[in-house]
Amino acid sequence: MKSTEFPVVPGDPEAAPSQHPLSPQTLREQYRARKADVLLAAVTSEASSRGVHYALHQLARITDATLRYLWKQAGVGPGHALVAVGGFGRGELFPHSDIDVLVLTGGTSAESDAALRQRIEAFITSCWDAGLEIGSSVRTVDECLAEAAKDVTVQTALLESRLICGQTALFKDFRWRFRQALDPRAFCVAKTLEMQQRHSKFEDTPYALEPNCKESPGGLRDLQVILWVAKAAGYGSTWDELARNGLATAFEVRQLKRNEAMLKLIRLRLHLVAGRREDRLVFDLQTAVASTFGYRSDTAEVRTKVRASEALMRHYYWAAKAVSQLNQILLLNIEERLNPSPQAPRPINARFLDKAGLIEIASDDLYQREPHAILETFLVYQTTEGAKGLSARTLRALYNTRALMNGKFRQDPVNRATFMRILQQPRGITHAMRLMNQTSVLGRYLWAFRSIVGQMQHDLFHTSTPWTSTS
């Protein structure tokens, strides 16, 4: 069966007459040529959501067609299925990413069927001969479920599974049994803990001078975590579906799509510049990647006194910080929906509540009605005993009302007095300033501070940018 998501198009190896099978060399050359056409367009296109997603989906589509052809040529036989998992299962593929596939066997396992094992081995060998760097596993449905129960990484990969070819009924049975066994609450806890550990590995900052655009805080993985947890809970698998289910606002969806496109395009072009799978924006590659976006040190130096690499990295930091904020907002919203608090919020004053240790605004339109409450949020956080942070509702309101923090807001004497009270408190000043930085309020209120937002120093004497916020 051919994939309904990626149908055969002229030029696909599947279109070749079956009586004249293509040689591995021909397949390899054809695959590379078609990839090159897609990647050339990706390098010359702008960082639009549509453009970068089209390129990634086209790469997956080309790969699907080649895999279907090789599966048919290997004669694996009926009763089995070839399934895309992981990132490839999402229907997108970066230039040098692994092609993760699952050979789903029906009935007996390949270990107990020598003939089946031989055909599968021939298929996997032919994939490598054709230039497909696949990561493969061969399992029955029962074996998949057993592995998923032991390892959240396997669970995550299978959550994004997609049928490439083979027996549809077998794949549907696997999907149904997998979803029945999946515990959304446990999965959410496991992925959140995994994300925290990953952030710690990268020093809990998106501002490293050589960040990993996939794994660092604010990288693509943080966006994927949101969608994984939402999909496991049945809240949607796309940003638009999350909005329809009340988990994201229209403004947040636009921000998510825009910053996701930027990060994906950086990663795609980083792969091309490096000529291999490379997700770190290391010094040696930053200038070359910057040039693919049109940044030039010779012209940028005259206008802004910054290198091309520094201009690129500033835009990267803006995107990464926005992703960090949106990741926190949406994950908190999902967690609250999965695990509603049994305790009613405790009033702090007329504007704020204490919701299980998190500062919660009393109404969604508080900041619109009373902009003075924006800075008061951090004073309340600073002076409330046991406060652990801001609730999802508060974080969302701050993120969606940043336009209120304009020149008039900065010059307002009430806001100045509130800011001075924060600085005059006997304790908690650092925590309050950090939270203002994380929520972009500091850069909005102190305009001079905003000028160093995402400003890197391209030298080896620093490990991260100055203490900055993104507005």
Is it the case that residue 123 has pLDDT exceeding 90?
Answer: yes
Q: Does the structure show a pLDDT above 90 at 11?
A: no
Q: Is the per-residue pLDDT at 456 higher than 60?
A: no
Closest CA to 14 of 133, 192, 164: 164
| Among candidate residues 374, 380, 393, the one with its CA nearest the CA of residue 349 | 380
Per-residue pLDDT for 3 more than 50? Answer: no
Residues in the chain: 471
Q: Which of 393, 251, 228 is nearest to 322 (CA)?
A: 251
Q: Which two tokens stand for residue 133?
A: 């760097």
Q: Is 166 helix (H, G, I), strand (E, B) or coil?
A: strand
Tell me what pLDDT residue 307 has. Answer: 83
Distance CA 296, CA 268 (A): 20
Q: To which CATH superfamily is domain 13-182 assigned?
A: Beta Polymerase, domain 2 (3.30.460.10)
Looking at residue 349, its amino acid is N
pLDDT in tens, 252-290: 999 999 999 999 999 999 999 999 999 999 999 999 999
- d(CA 417, CA 414) in angstroms, rounded, equals 5
- Residue 24 is predicted with a pLDDT of 86
Tens of pLDDT, residue by residue over 315-342, are: 999 999 999 999 999 999 999 999 987 8
Of 251 and 304, the structure prediction assigns the larger pLDDT to 251
pTM: 0.87
The answer, yes or no, to whether residue 143 has pLDDT greater than 90, is: yes
Higher pLDDT, 224 or 471: 224
Which CATH fold topology does 346-439 show?
Hydrophobic Seed Protein (1.10.110)
Mean per-residue pLDDT for 299-314? 70
The C-alpha R_g of the chain, in whole angstroms, comes to 25
Give 375's contacts (C-beta < 8 A, 6+ positions apart): 415, 418, 419, 422, 441, 445
- Overall average pLDDT of the 369-385 stretch: 96
Contact in structure between 357 and 387 (CB atoms under 8 Å):
yes
Highest mean pLDDT among 395-404, 409-418, 447-456 belongs to 409-418
Is the CATH number of domain 186-338 1.10.8.60?
A: no
Q: What are the phi and psi torsion angles at 257 (to 5°)?
A: -65, -40
The dihedral through the CA atoms of 9, 12, 17, 18 has a sign that is negative
Per-residue model confidence (pLDDT) at position 454: 53
One-letter-per-residue 3-state SS of 329-383? HHHHHHHHHHCCCCCCCEECCCCEEEECCEEEECCCCHHHHCCCHHHHHHHHHHH
Q: Mean pLDDT across the chain, nearest whole number?
A: 88
- Label residue 407 exposed, middle or buried (CB < 10 Å: 0-12, 13-18, 19+): exposed
CA–CA gap between residue 221 and residue 387 (Å, rounded): 29
Domain residue spans of the chain: 13-182, 186-338, 346-439
Q: Determine the 3-state secondary structure of 102 from DSSP.
A: strand
Provide the 10 A C-beta neighbour count for residue 408: 10
Strand ordering across the sheet containing 99-105: 134-140, 99-105, 80-84, 162-166
Q: What DSSP string runs through 21-37?
A: PPPHHHHHHHHHHHHHH
Residue 455 tokens read as 């400003």
User: From CA 153, how far away is CA 191, in angstroms rounded?
Assistant: 9
What local confidence, expressed as pLDDT, does residue 16 receive? 52
How many helices (DSSP H) and strands (DSSP E) are in the chain? 22, 8
CA distances from 163 to 61, 64, 199, 265, 464 (A): 12, 10, 32, 26, 43
pLDDT higher than 80, residue 305: no
Q: Are 13 and 30 in contact (CB under 8 A)?
A: yes
**Token reading at 402:** 């940043």
